[in-house]
Structure formats: structure tokens, C-alpha cells
Amino acid sequence: MVFKLPDKFFLVRGSAEGPSLLNSFDNALLAAGIGNTNLVRVSSIIPPGAVEISIPVLPMGSLVPVAYSYESSDVAGEIISAAVAVGLPEDTGEPGIIMEHHLKGSAQECEETARRLVLQAFESRSCGLKEVRSVASTAKVLKTATAFAGVVLWA
């Protein structure tokens, strides 16, 4: 097994400009506090019993499982946003659900959509929902920008 089953998670967000789309993405990761790690993109499940923690100091170069969303643009004046939402079940023996969304538009609209997607996922599973946690990031593009939001799974 490459990864130990995560028993913790935390939400991150950041937005930044950069000289290129890739550099703005990298700078958004730095702004989110996870820029000096190797992100391993995962889909949408939080292991049963995992608890939310404050953002820890991540060892540089760590392999970090993360479900994330981002929006990048090089259109000056454009508003871009990214959001993630986490649904936690009533029964801690059930998994949590992560949903991501991104758009050219407001952080509020983006975050509301991510939260709605969590509700729909819980309805599909006929599982009781205890709470929804979410974060969003937004940027007004000056030259080249990225908005990033993620849920990091940690052991």
C-alpha cells in the first residue's frame, strides 16, 4: 500500500497571480499552504471516522492526497472561483463525501454549488448528513491568475 488510510482531513484555499497559467497555479498552491508538496489527486471520499484538523506543517516533498478544484484565466478583469465542500455523515462508520466546483464567477455561487452537490451525493446514498463544511477561493484576474480550493487527506 502506497498510502496509510487517512484518518484526518483539512480544507485549504488560495489564489494568486503569476507570469503564466502554470505559475499562477503554483502560486495559488503556495498561498493555500501546500505548494511545496507533491499533490496526488483523489476523487471524493473521506474515510469513515476521519476528523477535521487545522492545517499541519507538511514535510516538503510529501505525497499529499487531495481532492481539489481550480480555475485559471488570463482574461484581465475576469472573476474566477474554486470551491470544495465536505459532507460528514451522521454515522461515523460511513464515509464522508467531497465535492468540487469551479467557474468564472463569484465565490458565493461556486461554494453554494459545491454544497448542493454534497447534498445530492448524500441523497443518492440514502445516508444521514450531519454537517457540510466548505471553502472557496476567488480572484479578479489582473494578468494571469488561479483560484484553488482543496481537501487534503492526512494520516
pLDDT interval class at 20 (50, 70, 90)? very high
Say if residue 21's pLDDT is above 70: yes
Say if residue 3's pLDDT is above 80: no
**Predicted TM-score of the model (pTM):** 0.95
Provide the mean pLDDT of the chain: 96
Quick: pLDDT tens for 32-47. Answer: 999 999 999 999 999 9
Cα first-last separation, the chain: 13
Residue 88 exposed, middle or buried by CB count within 10 Å (0-12, 13-18, 19+): buried
DSSP 8-state assignment for residue 94: S
Say if residue 14's pLDDT is above 70: yes
**CA-atom Rg of the chain in angstroms:** 15
Give the strand pairing for 129-140 and 79-89.
antiparallel
| CATH value at residue 108 | 3.50.20.10
Quick: pLDDT tens for 62-112. Answer: 999 999 999 999 999 999 999 999 999 999 999 999 999 999 999 999 999
Q: Which residues face 102 on adjacent strands? A: 82
Total count of domains within the chain? 1
Give the residue numbers spanning the domain of 61. 8-154
Say if residue 123's pLDDT is above 80: yes
Q: Which residues are catalytic?
A: 38, 43-44, 100
Residue 1 lies in a domain: no
